[in-house]
Amino acid sequence: MGTKRGPFSGAHRRRLGKIELLEEGTIFLDEVGEISLQLRSKLLTYLQDRSHSRIGGEEQLIINARIFAATNRDLKAVVDKGSFREDLYFRLNVLLIEVPPLRERKEDIPSLLDHFLLRLGEGDDKGRPLAVDPGVHDLLMDFDWPGNVRGIERTVSRAFVLRSDSNRLQRIDFDFMFGNKAVKRLSHAEALGCSGGRAVQFLANRPLAEIEQEAIRQTILAC
């Protein structure tokens, strides 16, 4: 909304509001179904007139910006229950774009994996993401992802941090998703050696360096 200079203590200069800063740009309203009643009223006023005034000011500022609103709720059903303003709903619902859950568009998962790995900063000199074993794609494609894109983002970030090989992601790096049959996960106290028992058990015939990396990774998970 912004403020004029002087309407309250500390307002020593004019401050532009977020909408004003986005002139000729795009405003994205995430989870619009959760905004407060007061903000809903202000948003409706702006959508009707494309104008607003700064705090302490009387001048109506006309701001031209494109508006996207997103929600994971059925706003029409919420309107019918009386929990969301009908007039605001119709102002927002000019063009409806339904995005299916990730479980219904699993062909996007490989691209999302590459995107998140690149954003984590692990691209090579040709702009390619960190190498990924084929088994990882199979694993991610088999999961239903109740958290959708944010869920896979957190999962990839965690696997990236705990990966056993600095040069590639392997299926073992995603064991925390389903449980690891090759590793016995013990309590926090046991993982710290407080019980006197072994913190982690491994299958035989694995390289010593890999066992060491896995021991560190499992201790981090347990703690």
Predicted local confidence at residue 119, as pLDDT: 86
Q: Considering only 46-60, 103-117, 130-144, which range has the smallest mean pLDDT? A: 46-60
pLDDT surpasses 80 at 209: no
- Say whether pLDDT at 198 is over 70: no
Contact 65, 24 (CB under 8 A): yes
Domains by residue range for the chain, with CATH = 18-92 (3.40.50.300), 102-179 (1.10.8.60), 180-223 (no CATH)
Cross-strand bridge partners of residue 55: 3
Closest CA to 177 of 194, 155, 206: 155
Predicted pLDDT at 10: 55
Of 25-39, 93-107, 142-156, the poorest mean pLDDT is in 25-39
- Lowest mean pLDDT: which of 68-82, 133-147, 205-219? 205-219
Cβ-contact 139, 148 below 8 angstroms: no
Cβ(164)–Cβ(170) below 8 Å: yes
Q: What is the CB neighbour count within 10 angstroms for residue 188?
A: 10
- Locate 24 and state its tokens: 């000729």
* Pairing mode, strands 61-62 and 66-69: unpaired
Query: Is 130 in contact with 114 (CB distance < 8 Å)?
Result: no
* Selected residue with higher pLDDT from 104 and 197: 104
- Report percent pLDDT > 90 for the chain: 21
Tell me what pLDDT residue 45 has.
80
How would DSSP label each residue in 190-220? HHTTTTSS-S----SS--HHHHHHHHHHHHH
Task: Give the model's pLDDT for residue 118.
Answer: 87
> Helices (H), strands (E): how many in the chain?
9, 6
pLDDT in tens, 105-137: 999 999 999 999 988 875 555 556 788 998 899
121 burial via Cβ count (<10 Å: 0-12, 13-18, 19+): exposed
- Reply yes or no on whether the pLDDT at 211 is more than 80: no
Q: Quick one: pLDDT at residue 21?
A: 72
* Strand 51-52 with 131-132, pairing: unpaired
Which SS3 state, helix, strand or coil, does residue 156 take?
helix
Average confidence score pLDDT of the chain? 76
Give the mean pLDDT of 192-216. Answer: 61
